[in-house]
Amino acid sequence: MPQMAPMNWLTLMLYFMILMLIFNIMIFFSFTYKSKKNQFFLKKKLINWKW
């Protein structure tokens, strides 16, 4: 029935939006970023000045 097609499109759109949201949340929480503060202190400690 062609009258029911818009409901099918709406459910498909909602399904893909929820799928995209879940996928983006999984990617966001899977990465661990190293803080730049720790890298700065490590570089500072490694410098050995010879006077």
Q: Dump pLDDT digits (tens) for 1-51.
A: 567 677 788 899 999 999 999 999 999 988 877 666 655 555 555 566 666
What pLDDT is stored for residue 49 in this prediction? 66
Nearest-angstrom CA–CA distance, 48 and 35 = 23
Among positive and negative, which fits the CA dihedral 25, 29, 30, 35? positive
For the entire predicted model, the pTM comes to 0.53
Number of H helices, E strands in the chain: 2, 0
What pLDDT is stored for residue 8 in this prediction? 86
What pLDDT is stored for residue 31 in this prediction? 81
Q: Can you say how many angstroms the Cα of residue 24 is from the centroid of all Cα atoms in its chain?
A: 5
> What single-letter amino acid sits at 28?
F
